[in-house]
Amino acid sequence: MAATPNLKLPLLDSNENVSEDHLKINQFVEALDMRLGEAAATISGLAKTDHAHEMAKIIGLAEALKLLASKNHSHKLNDLADVEVEDAPDGKILQKIAGKWGLGDRSYSVPEINELLSQKVAASDLPGQLDATRDAALALMAPKIALTAKQSDLDVATAAIEALEAIVATHATSESVKALQTAISLLAPLVNPVFSGVPEVQLGDVKHQITHAGNIEEQIVTAGISARHFATVAHEAPPNTNGGTAHANNTGYIRPLNTIVTNDGDMISLSNNTITINKSGRFRLTGYAALYQTSHSVAYIGKSSSTSLIMGSPVYSNTSASVQSHFSDEVSLDQGDSLNLYYRCTSSRSDNGLGVRNQLNLRNTFARITLEKLPE
């Protein structure tokens, strides 16, 4: 039977008899009357658009307003929950200490300190005293400079210092001149000074002794070169390329290494996934290797699959997830030693088992090894 879409009232059918249509009309009128009655009852229960309420008749409003502060209220600073500054004397500042605001002291910036020092110097007439000392020193130095005009600059400088010492001895009446006299007494002679101890240069965590013989600058540079030699190799792939198939094994499979990133002083060479050491010494090897597995897996560096020099951290995933085995240790290597990066895992995965490509259309790095040659 056809009906209206909203109230579902029966519609007349031209194929039916008039008596049947009369029945439908009566049903229609009764249903419409019932719905109109419901609408009238609903409308009569609604408030007018311009109606109002007294505040006391609104449930909960008075109680909520009591919890609010007056618009012109105020607080004492010490009343705040995280502030303890009761009876603060003049001149103190707020300073956060142990998670709370308390009393602190005035601090000064570098420009403020410089300005205060300038004021102190100006007030003490120190520039005038130093100018007088300089003029007197030059007056006494003039004869000595004339006598030593054909000598080296070191001799002239020595004569100047001797003259200045004489001035200090006769004019040591102020604290500033006495301080200058003390400073001069601490200086080493310019000609043939005598040093004690062995000078050192700090390069990273290693100290290198510098001998008195030879060029000191060259020794420092040489120490720096011998102290820090780095080489880095990696397993890289073009954008949108996965790392390759991982094979389940318990004996060690060689991972790809196809890129030399850095190679200070031709320290290593790389061919067919194998690193060859070109310079003997003590090395620190650090790095990682990626795996995309649902199993136990580990990466390690060795001279063969059964000889691990540095074992990486074991990793495990019970779902398909990208993980990294990290390694770091020190080993001694000889020139000509060959190293490979191996992996072991308990399940196989084709195409991306050795790493999943990034989704940024960038070049991929699935494994990386950095070799640092330590100072001898």
pLDDT digits (tens, 9 = 90+) for 97-125: 777 877 777 676 777 777 777 777 666 66
User: What is residue 270's predicted lDDT score, i.e. its pLDDT?
Assistant: 96
Contact status, residue 135 vs residue 163, Cβ threshold 8 Å: no
Strands (E), 210-277: 229-237, 249-254, 259-263, 268-271, 274-277
pLDDT at 35: 81
Percent of the residues in the chain that have a pLDDT greater than 90, as a whole number: 27
- Our CA angle for 237, 243, 245, nearest 5°, is 145
Flag whether pLDDT at 316 surpasses 50: yes
Rounded-to-integer distance, Cα 232 and Cα 264, Å = 9
Q: What is the pLDDT of residue 61?
A: 82
pLDDT (0 to 100) of residue 271: 95
pLDDT higher at 139 or 225: 139
> Average pLDDT of 291-309?
84
Q: Residue 311 pairs with which residues in a beta bridge?
A: 300
Task: Name the β-bridge partners of 321.
Answer: 293
How far from the centroid of its chain's Cα atoms is residue 204's Cα? 20
Beta bridge partners of 249: 345
Nearest alpha carbon to residue 290 among 250, 325, 252, 342: 325
Q: What is the pLDDT of residue 199?
A: 63
What pLDDT does residue 180 have?
Answer: 59
188 vs 327, higher pLDDT: 327
Q: What percent of the chain has pLDDT over 70?
A: 66
21-68: pLDDT as tens digits: 677 777 777 877 888 888 788 888 777 777 777 777 788 888 888 888
Give me the DSSP letters along 138-184.
HHHHHHHHHHTTTS-HHHHHHHHHHHHHHHHHHH--SHHHHHHHHHH
Say what the pLDDT of residue 185 is. 63
For residue 100, what pLDDT is reported?
80
3-state secondary structure of 82: coil
pLDDT at 225: 47
Q: What is the pLDDT of residue 150?
A: 43
Scan for tokens 């691990």, then name that residue: 308
Q: What is the pLDDT of residue 50?
A: 77
Instruction: List 101's β-bridge partners, or say none.
Output: 83, 96
What does the mean pLDDT of the chain come to? 76
Distance between CA atoms of residues 184 and 158, nearest Å? 12
In tens, the pLDDT along 328-360 reads 999 999 999 999 999 999 889 999 999 999 989
DSSP state of 135: H
| Per-residue pLDDT tens digits for 138-158 | 565 555 544 444 444 455 556
User: Which band of pLDDT confidence, cut at 50, 70 and 90, is reported for residue 229?
Assistant: confident
Round to whole Å and give the CA distance between 35 and 7: 8
Half-sphere exposure of 73 (CA within 13 A, CB side): 5
Q: Which residue has the tokens 């001035």?
A: 167
Could you give the residue range(s) of every CATH 2.60.120.40 domain in the chain? 229-373
Residue 292 has pLDDT above 80, yes or no: yes
Residue 27 and residue 25: Cα distance in Å, rounded?
5
Between 270 and 96, the more confident residue is: 270
Q: How confident is the model at residue 311 (pLDDT cuts 50, 70, 90)?
A: very high
Mean per-residue pLDDT, 239-258 = 93
Provide CB contacts within 8 A for 243, sequence distance 6+: 235, 237, 256, 290, 292, 352, 353, 354, 355, 356, 357, 364, 366
CATH number of 229-373, picked from 3.40.30.10, 3.40.50.2300, 2.60.120.40, 3.40.50.12780: 2.60.120.40
pLDDT at 177 over 70: no
Strand partners, 271: 274
Sign of the CA dihedral with 37 first, then 39, 40, and 44 last: positive
Q: How far apart are CA 357 and CA 271, in angstroms?
A: 24
- In the predicted model, what is the mean pLDDT of residues 168-173? 51
